Structure formats: C-alpha cells, structure tokens
Structure 1
Amino acid sequence: MGEIQKGEFNTNNALVNKFLCAFIYDKFIKNPKNSDGAVISQNQYAILCGLSSSTLTKLKLPEGYDIPISTIYSICRHEKYSLQKFFKEFEKKYGVNIPQ
C-alpha cells in the first residue's frame, strides 16, 4: 500500500470539492426554486438557504472551492434533502473512490 504524499492528498481534495460544487450547482443552483417550486433569483435562493449570494457564486466556479459541510447542510435543509440522500446521489454519480 503506497503512502499518499501531501501534494497528492491536496489535489485529491480539490477534485472532490470541484465535483461537490458542480453536483450542487447542477442539482439546486442552476434553476433555484423556493419551497413552492417557483423559480427564483440566486439572491433570493441564498437568503432562503441562509447563505450569501457570493457563496452560491463560488459553486459555479469551474475549479469549485473548499466547500464547508455547513454550506452543504444549509442547501440541503432548504431543499428538505437529507445529507444521507445527498451524498448517496453524489456517490452514485461520481463513485466512492475519487479521483480513481
């Protein structure tokens, strides 16, 4: 079993964050909706999630960003999505061995 070098570990983490951001953006942010299912602006969606609009903008970055679990939780809470369901769908799409 090979030892993971710090640089490789950081690269792997960046890749996971990139995929997480892309997944969240595609699933929730691309067409943000309120609790009634009506399409709303990104600013309105951010308020409903208790986040800043700039946080949602970071999710759109091609390289992603180091997203805190609290941000994921805030979005899932608004969407009435359990973290278990969220991560299960994420793993189904991207696998469990990122970056392999």
Structure 2
Amino acid sequence: MSAHTADLLYSDTEEALRAGVRQLFAERCPHEGVASLYNAEPHDFSGVWRTLATELGVAGLLVPESLGGAGASARAAAVVMEEIGRAVAPVPFLSSAVLATIALLR
C-alpha cells in the first residue's frame, strides 16, 4: 500500500467518532422520525443537536485545542457530515460547527 493510499483511510479516532455519531442518530434520529417531518405531526428532534454538540463534542470539533476545542481536522468534520447525511438528520452541524468556526477563526 502506498503512502497516498494510506492517507485515504480513516484513522481509529475518526472511526470511533463515526461510531459515536452513528449510534446517536440510530437512537435519536430514526428514519421514520425524519420522514415524519413532512407529516402533520413531526418528530421532535430538538435534543439531537444538543446531544451531538455537548456529549459527542462535535460543536467544537474544528476549534483549536488552545481555544478549548478538539482541534480536529476537516476529515473528522467530513466523518460527521457523512453520518448526518446517512441519517438525513436535521441538525445545524455545517452552519454552526464548520462554517461559523471557520469564519470566527479568520
């Protein structure tokens, strides 16, 4: 395996992040609930982002450690985005944890 190929593989840390996000969405953001967003009585997802941000710490994923964040890479953010897409989860990760962080750090 070449060095370039190895760069494309997820690290154990990134896979652990993926597993945590996937488990949260499986428990708190079921496909039936997301589909119900289009029904008269939608599922309540208010706690999903709060749990994702506080318990899994993804709100500070891209914030440097020196500022109290995780100091993770864009690859870690991509792992979270993949799982959000997989679950079709209605959470503001991209706007709140990625774009806002990038804007504030500039």
Q: What TM-score do the two structures reach when normalised by structure 1?
A: 0.30
Q: What TM-score do the two structures reach when normalised by structure 2?
A: 0.29
Per residue, is there more helix in 1 or in 2?
2
Higher relative contact order, chain-length normalized (CA < 8 Å, sep 6+):
1
